[in-house]
Every structure is written in structure tokens, then in C-alpha cells.
Structure 1
Amino acid sequence: MRILQPLSRSGIYYRWTTAAVAAVTAACCMCGPVFASASIAINKADESVESIDAAAIFADRKSLYDQVATVTQIPWYRLAAIDQYERTLTRVHPKDRKHPERTIGIFIPPTRWTGPLNPNQEDVDPMSISVFSGIGLDGDGDGKADPNNNIDLLYTVATRLSPYGHAADDFSIGLWSYYQNTRAVQRVMQYAKLYETFGKLDLFDHAFPLPVQSDYSYRSTFGMGRNWGGRRVHEGTDLFAHYGVPVRSTCYGVVEIKGWNKYGGWRIGIRDLNNHYHYYAHLQGFDKGISLGDVVTPGQTLGWVGSSGYGKPGTQGKFPPHLHYGIYRDTGLTEWAFDPYPLLKHWEAEERRTKKKTRS
């Protein structure tokens, strides 16, 4: 388990101060613009659906983001980042964030939507919601502030954030005011950077961390004991290969950690859009084009297989060369490792199939 620190580990995604937050007053808006009807019927909202269904889902989400962005002047990629972050929270806290199937993943608790003292926690009247200090707004002009209406949800959150301004630092302050959680600010800004960089939502492709044509071997070793650094267990899979074999990003993501760790040696950590932290350790070195905060793509070289770690900076050779690869799931306050072996086998097989099709 990795206990999350209250501030960004890299310190480069946002800057804010308590004084700055206190100086900003949130605006409240009771009326919303009229939007054209947007949504197509969606039965599945996960990135694992068939590609044709996934394309329709992404197109529908993008249409909603664009509509709200036009009115609130918050860029679509920031709205998309908030929506995706909320979606990852629901995946790890499904019982606490139950809601009907819909296109937008944002969840606002009834007490916050309708007001903490509102006797009707299913209230959809914008006027009475405002009287009880709820935040719910009517975004599509139908006279209702519906917490399960895609436009109402997006418009409500965007309206809470827009008074803070549209510069990155100002938007970060708005996010902190809304979430009261620095980790949430970091995640949303990371996701926004990915969406802005690539200009699309479909950023869930993966790659095997080593070139599949290279000489390597691995097996499931998750949970096994470690014999250095005290009593602990193995939180990943070791892929044994020769020195200098390229280590590649398995996903689209943002470089969150880069440097030395006494256990992992030269290591790098990548955050993806599923709020998974991908950890690559015992490297021989880093690709010189990789820096903290950079955006990476599946298959991009991060560094090379080595045997660094188990000591002070520069320690090498205490074990055979290999890549330690781990994945951690962020729950909001902690991160838990889960066994990457099944995913590695899947990505390896997919890449081999793709290469075989390309050759034929």
C-alpha cells in the first residue's frame, strides 16, 4: 500500500495557496442555458466494449463537453478530465456512488445537489434547491435540475468552477475549492493535459513494457516475500532481460515520478486515465527526452533494463538485470498494488497478434 501525500509528488502540475483559495468567492447561478438534446442511448460505458460502441460513447461524451464548453468557456478537455476522474472514483467506490446508467460519470451526492437541509433529497426544482443552498442547476432549460441529467451535471460543475478564471493556476484553485482535495486537483490537471495534448478521448491503448521480439522471461511473482529492506512483499512482476533492452510505457499517461529509490533504484512512475500508477524499477537509465510532467504514449521508450537499487544512489548489480513492473490503483486516499501479470499476458498476446497481422 502506498499512502498518498497531501501535495503533488512532482510539484509541477499546479500551484495554489490557502490564502489564494480564501480570497476567491464562488459564484452561484440559478438559471442555465438551453442546450439541444444530445445523448444517444448507451448500454455500456466502459472502455472495454467493442470498438464501434466505444467510438459512439466517446463521440457522445465529446458532444456534451463541447456544448457546455461553448457556454461556460471552460475548455472541453478540462470538462473531460473532471468527468473521467469522477468515473475512476465510481469504479473504486461503487456502493457510495450509485447512479443510473448515463453518459457522464460525474456524481454529486443528494445532500450537496439539493442542499444539506432540504427535506426532499430528490428535489429537482432549481428555485427550492437554491433556497436550501444546493448546487444543482438546470443546464438544458427543461425547468428541472436533475442530478442524472448529463447536461445538468456538467453545467453545474462548470458553473462552480468558471468564476475562478481559466488560467491553469486559477482553474486549479477552483478544483481545490470544489473537491477540497489536492490529490483530485493533480489528477484532473494530469488528465486535462493528456486530452489537450492528443485532442481526443480514446486514450486507452496499451503496449507490453518490453519489445516482444526481445529475449525476456517472466512469471507471476506478486505477493512473494522480499529479502532486502525489511519484511515486505513483492508488489509487481519481474521481467528478466539483458542489460539495455528498452523499457516502454504500457499506456498513455503523465510522468509523475522519476529518479532514485533505494528499493527500486532508477525508477519512473506513469499515471494513466484509469487512475492507475504504472511503476518501472531497476532501470539502467532514463531516456534523455523524458522529464517530470511529460506526456507519454504506449510503446514509447522510458529507459533500459538494468539492475539498479537496494542501496544508495548508483548501486548496481545486486541481482540479475530485470524490469520490476507494478500497477497501483488509486482509491482517493491510498494506492493499492494489484497483480499486473494477467494484464502483461494480455498485452503481450495482443501485440504479437498485431505484429503477425502486419506481416501477413
Structure 2
Amino acid sequence: MKQILLSLVIIIPLCFVPSTFTAAAEEELTLEEKDAERLNLYKKVETLTNIPWYYLAAVDTYERGLRRVVKDRPKEIGLASIFFSPSQWVGPLNPKLDEQEPLSISMFGGLGLDGDGDGLADPNNDEDILYTFARYLEQYGFNKEDFRIALWDYYQREQTVSIIDGHASIYEKYGHLNLHDHVFPLPLRSNYSYRSTWGDRRGWGGRRIHEGTDIFAGYNVPVKSTAYGIVEIKGWNMYGGWRVGIRDLDNIYHYYAHLSGFEKGIEEGTIVEPGQVIGYVGSSGYGKAGTQGKFPPHLHYGMYRDNGYTEWSFDPYPSLKSWERKGFQLLKQGK
């Protein structure tokens, strides 16, 4: 039945209006306008395939994050960022790597499909890209577990499946894509201090570098989520003490450590937004569960980027300064 369905997809013309979107037009759009255009694309494909738009948005957002850090991936030409290698698109044995004829692509086992009804399967066409990935997902079914299985077969990495699944949950909750705001992790009117400490040496537990910025403040000062995201980890770590890990929509993992405790309702899987309290400044860590007071109270804030294979720490200090400046500007404006 799945094979018959895929054959019909190739033979029956679609009722899409051919896309007139160009790379030049994309460059002229604001971020809000791009979000609106993307949402229209996702929902258009949803009507044809019954794949919920927020699943498509989640995959596209994840791949957009990869394009920023993976050097062997070209910059997207349009609005869609899902990447297919030439052999994936046209078929592994197809001698013509720039093939755009849907029937020929199908004969060679390629994934590429015509999504806008122009008779071509163009790997640089937004509607063709999204329609192709939606049809891939559709082969597995329509519930959340089917979606996770399809992603595992495609990416072969559980971390990637979890990240995309989290993105989908966030988009489903809010119903739109304009979720780019960030805030400083402590109240701006509280008494705090910090400097760039990323890369400094640490000795407890063996030689290692400091993978974050320490923000010193009093006990129980509220700690806020800096971004829209989903809680991946909550609990004890012998280095970080009571800590929370949150994944945002840029695939970045935000690490909040040495807390004195957690805000009620913050659990693994909780969706959070900028400014939402997740815990409180403390001095936990460097020992067994419950160890406190081995250093002055502070928030250890770390940021880790995912590239589809692994994660690495990068300096959060520039982001913190940027969010702090913007926060003070908003306070001056009475917002």
C-alpha cells in the first residue's frame, strides 16, 4: 500500500500554485515576515499530507541550526532549510546528480518529489523540499511515536530525535514561529556581578576547563530561562549540583548549575519561555547529592551547540552582555 501511495504521488499532478519565491526576496524579508512565510509553507504541505505543520517546522528549524555550524552544508537558497544530499534526492545510483525529473528520480530510488506542481523535483525549491520530507514521514504514520521512528531511521541519532521532538512540542504549544526572544538569566534589578570566565582552569574532580560564565548573586535570587525551550535534564550532578538543562529552538543547550532549588512545576519535558523562573541561585555541587557551601553562591551558566554528531561548549559571555543591554534598554522604556 505504501508503494502504491508513493507511485500515485509522482503520477497525479498537485494543486499547488508554482512558487515565485526567490533568494533575493528572502534576503529582503524581516525575521517576522520569514516566520509568516514559513508557517504558510508548513500549513500548505500539511493540507496535502496530513503531517502536522509543527513536525515540519521542527525538522526545518533543527536543520537550519545545523547549517549555521556544519561547514560542508551550503546556505539555504530559500526559506526551507531541510538538506538532502544529491544522492539522497536523485537516487544513489542515478548518474545525473542534478536530475529533476520526478519519474526518473523515482526509478533510481531517490526521495525528491514535485511539491508545487511545476513538473520538476527541485532540491532548491521550498515546496518540493518540504513536500518530499512530509511524504517520507507519512510512510511511517501520523502519531508521535511514528514520527520518532521515522526520524531515527533518517538521522540514526537519538539525540537528534529528542531535539526535533522538543521543537515540535514547543511549536504545537504556541501555534506560531515567532519565538526568538532572549532575556538575562537573573533579575536585572538584583545585586549580581560577572565577568568572562569561560575557559578558565578548574581543578576539582580533575583538570578541566570552565565551560560557562559564573554570575555571582545572593542565595535564592530567581534564575530565569533565557529562551523558549524544553527542559531536557533536571536533578543532581556532582560538579554542577542541582542543575537544569534546557534546549532552545537554535539547538543550543542552556545549562543552569549550582542552584539552591527548583521552581515548582519545572520537570523534564516542561516547556519554558524567556523570563520564566526555573530555580534559585545557590552553592550546590562538588560532592554527593545535597552538598552545599563549597564556594560562594552563584549561577553557573553554560551554552552548548549541537552539530548533528556531538555537542561542544562555547563562551556564553557575549550573549549574556547582549541580553543584559537589551533588558536595561527595555527597563528605561518602561517595558
Corresponding residue number in structure 2 for 1:348: 324
Deviation string 1:303-352 (CA, Å, 9 cap, x unpaired) is 10000000000000000000000000011221111000011001001001
Do the aligned partners of 1:160 and 1:178 also contact (CA within 8 Å) in 2? no
Q: 1:213 to 1:302 in 2, by over 3 A?
A: same
> In the alignment, residue 53 of structure 2 is paired with which amino acid?
W
Superposed CA deviations along residues 55-98 of structure 1, whole A, max 9, x for unmatched, are 1111110111011000000111111001111111111113x221
Cα offsets for 1:109-132 (capped at 9, x unmatched)? 000100111110000011111111
Determine which of 51, 69, 93 is the counterpart of 1:92.
Answer: 69
- Give TM-score scaled by structure 2 length: 0.94
Determine if the alignment matches structure 1 residue 317 to structure 2 residue 298: no
Higher mean displacement: 111-120 or 163-172 = 163-172
Partner deviation per Cα, 1:181-235 (whole Å, 9 max, x = no partner): 2222111111000100111101110010000000000000110001211010100
Q: Distance in 2 between matches of 1:100 and 1:66?
A: 20
**Alpha-carbon offset, residue 140 of structure 1:** 1.0
Q: Does 1:36 align with 2:13?
A: no
Distance 1:184 1:344 in 2: 26
SS at match of 2:202: coil
Q: Residue 77 of structure 1 aligns with which residue? A: 54
Q: Which deviates more, 30-39 or 247-256?
A: 30-39
**Structure 2: which amino acid aligns with 1:28?**
L
1:293 aligns with 2:269: yes
Partners of 2:41 and 2:281 in 1: CA distance: 44
| Paired residue total | 331
Aligned counterpart for 2:310 among listed residues 308, 328, 334: 334
Equivalences for residues 1-360 of structure 1 within 5 A: 28-29=6-7, 30-31=10-11, 33-38=14-19, 40-41=21-22, 43=24, 53-94=30-71, 96-99=72-75, 101-358=77-334
Inter-CA distance 188–82: structure 2 relative to 1 (3 Å threshold): same
Separation (CA, whole Å) in 2 of partners of 1:324 and 1:143: 55
* Alpha-carbon shift at residue 99 of structure 1 (Å): 5.0
Give aligned-pair identity as a percent: 56
Cα deviation digits, residues 157-180 of structure 1 (max 9, x gap): 100111221111111112222222
Output the amino acid matched with 1:305.
V
Q: Is the 8 A contact 1:282 1:307 kept in 2?
A: yes
Q: CA RMSD in A?
A: 1.9
Q: Residues 38-69 of structure 1: CA distance to partner in whole angstroms, max 9, x if unpaired?
A: 554454869xx9xx711111111011101100
Q: 1:171 to 1:193 in 2, by over 3 A?
A: same
Q: Write out per-residue CA displacement over residues 271-323 of structure 1, whole angstroms, 9 at most, x where no aligned residue.
A: 00100000000000000111110100001001100000000000000000000
- Counterpart CA distance in 2 for 1:97 and 1:45 is 19
Match of 1:4? none
**1:38/1:64 contact within 8 Å kept:** no
Mind listing any 5+ residue stretches in structure 1 that lack a counterpart? 1-23
Report which stretch shifted further, 126-135 or 98-107: 98-107
Matched-pair contact (CA < 8 Å) for 1:286–1:302: yes
Closer/same/farther in 2, CA of residues 100 and 224 from structure 1, 3 Å limit: closer
Partner of 1:77: helix, strand, or coil?
helix
Deviation sequence 1:220-271 (CA, Å, 0-9, x none):
0110001211010100000000001000000000000000000000000000
Q: Is the 8 A contact 2:185 2:275 kept in 1?
A: yes
- Preserved CA contact (<8 Å) 1:38 1:63: no
Which secondary structure state, in structure 2, belongs to the residue aligned with residue 256 of structure 1? strand
**Which amino acid is 2:220 matched to?**
G
| Inter-CA distance 33–324: structure 2 relative to 1 (3 Å threshold) | same
* Contact preservation (8 Å) 1:254, 1:294: yes
Q: Using the alignment, how far apart are the partners of 2:205 and 2:293 within structure 1? A: 16
